Amino acid sequence: MKEQRDTYGEPSGHRPASHTVPKLDDLLTTIQPDILVMQTGSNLFELFSGREKVKPDRDGPMLRKYVLPFVKKAITPPSKLRKIYWVAPPISGRVSGDVQQFVFDRTQKDIGSVTNVIDSRKLISYPYKHMEPDKEHFVGET
C-alpha cells in the first residue's frame, strides 16, 4: 500500500499530483483482509455547518447516511472481515464539544454492534503541538 503525503498547509498555488485512491470494494476483493481499521477525520463535522447545537432528529439520520453504507459494504460477502475498528474523529477546534460527543455517541449507537468504535479524542492531547490555523488539522507528532 502506498502512502501519500497530505498537502494541507502547502504554499498557495501548490498543486498536488493526482494519485489513485483504493476503493473498499477493490481492497476487500484483492487483499481479502480479516481486519479493517477505518479512521475518520473531521470531515463529518462539516455536516454541522459550524452549529454549536445538535439537532438529534435531523443530525442522527444525516450522520447515519454516511456511516452505515460503508459498514454494510465492509461486512457483506465476499468480505472476509472478522473485525472492524472504527477510529472516531479527533478533537476539533471548529465545532462544539456537544457536536463532537454527538458524532461519537451516534457512531457508537449506529455501528457499535458490528465494529469496535474507538474514541480518538482520548488518545491525543488538544491543542495539538503542530496545529494548522483551522484549529483542526495537525502535522507531525502531536
Residue 3 has pLDDT above 70, yes or no: no
Angle of helix 56-75 relative to helix 97-111, nearest 10 degrees, comes to 40
Residue 139 has pLDDT above 80, yes or no: no
Mean per-residue pLDDT, 107-115? 97
Mean per-residue pLDDT, 1-6? 52
Alpha carbon 22 to chain centroid, angstroms: 16
Selected residue with higher pLDDT from 12 and 114: 114
Mean pLDDT of the chain: 86
pLDDT at residue 21, rounded to an integer: 77
Question: For residue 109, which phi and psi values (nearest 5 degrees)?
Answer: -65, -45
pLDDT at residue 36, rounded to an integer: 95
Show the CA angle centred on residue 107, arms to residues 104 and 110, nearest 5°: 150
82: which DSSP letter? S
32: which DSSP letter? -
